[in-house]
Amino acid sequence: MIVTLALLTVGLLPASGGEFSGAEALVFTRRVVAFGPRPSGSAEIRKLQDYILGELKAMGVHAIQDDFTASTPLGQTPMKNIIARLPGTSGKVVVFTGHYDTKSIPGTYFVGANDGGSSAGFVLEMAKALARDVRKDDVYLVWFDGEEAVARWTDYDSLYGSRHLAEKWAADATLARIRALINVDMIGDRDLGILKDMNSSGSLRELVWRTAERLGYGKHFLNNDSAIEDDHIPFLRRGVNALDLIDLDYGPGNSHWHTDKDTIDKLSAESFQVVGRVLLETLKELERDAGADGRDHRRR
């Protein structure tokens, strides 16, 4: 992703049956990180794909494997988005997404605990929290491959998985059904501060910020404006109501980002808990805002 900056601290509310557990999200993330560096096309990311699919199967969640081949500066690279579908009744869809690949950094053992690990673990815990819920809208949970640039970040060397899926969903009319798409990236930092991304949909951004304030987490959802290129952008460009949640003030002066310091000890269950609880409550708000006739009455 490409961005600016921010800063902060956290608090934990315990989760129980059917709710989001920050502690469990951290456990999932720890298991993800244990596979080591996970660049797209690597043996390690294939092992992680099997792990994610195995966890979803154990939860009783239907998963789709969206395989494609990406043209990268290093040649043709096999990639896989993983999509979990939880059915609702309205015909509309709310999507939660995050990437699970890590950037290849020659000479650096980069395990990406926060950058790639936290989003993969977070979305797994969302699947577990929502798996047996009765809901109005379909919920899609997506693990994107190929978020990271293979060489240097450009429009064509980045966001491979999200660009592919946005195009695919535009062709099969899935995009027209999406009520909201919320992408998470680097949300496990102990010192949690979510940037206010001005490249996101204004109404959805304000809904999440209001929800965080109401739940007592306002200090973690900053008023620091930024303009972020992340996996929400391909959908935003196609008219989807989309939001990116990211903390890119990771370590002193962002010094842990894309370094060997991005390790599991830098993360906390409290940070996962904050984001998880806010997004589950946001999901309820989105369904309430749809109105009795099933149409979306929010203003963009």
Q: What is the mean pLDDT of residues 23-41?
A: 98
- pLDDT of 283 strictly over 90: yes
Task: Kindly provide the b/e burial profile for residues 59-97, where b requires at least 16 CB atoms within 10 angstroms of the residue's own CB.
Answer: bebebeebebebebeeeebebbbbbbebebebebbbbbb
CB 278 within 8 A of CB 19: no
Please tell me the pTM assigned to this model.
Answer: 0.91
CB 234 within 8 A of CB 162: yes
Using CB atoms within 10 Å of the CB of residue 4, give its burial: 0 to 12 exposed, 13 to 18 middle, 19+ buried. middle
Q: What pLDDT, in 10s, does the model give residues 247-259?
A: 999 999 999 999 9
Is the C-alpha dihedral spanning 249, 252, 256, 259 positive or negative? Answer: positive
Q: What is the mean pLDDT of residues 178-196?
A: 97
Q: What pLDDT, in 10s, does the model give residues 201-222?
A: 999 999 999 999 999 999 999 9
CA dist 289 and 281 (Å) reads 12
Categorize the per-residue pLDDT at 297 as very low, low, confident or very high, splitting at 50, 70 and 90: very low
**What are the extents of the domains in the chain?**
22-289
Q: Which fold has domain 22-289?
A: Aminopeptidase (3.40.630)
Q: What pLDDT, in 10s, does the model give residues 122-156?
A: 999 999 999 988 899 999 999 999 999 999 999 99
The percent helix, strand, coil of the chain (3-state, each to 5) is 35, 20, 40
Categorize the per-residue pLDDT at 18 as very low, low, confident or very high, splitting at 50, 70 and 90: low
CA within 13 Å, CB half, 74:
13
CB 1 within 8 A of CB 38: no
CA dist 42 and 55 (Å) reads 20
By DSSP bridging, strand 93-99 and strand 138-144 are: parallel
Q: Which residues contact 21 (CB under 8 A, 6 or more apart)?
A: 15, 125, 128, 129, 269, 273, 276
Residue whose tokens read 């800063």: 7
Using CB atoms within 10 Å of the CB of residue 14, give its burial: 0 to 12 exposed, 13 to 18 middle, 19+ buried. exposed
CB 281 within 8 A of CB 215: yes
Strand ranges for 165-298 from DSSP E: 178-185, 194-197, 221-226, 242-246
Q: What is the mean pLDDT of residues 44-62?
A: 98
Angle CA 272–283–170, to nearest 5? 105
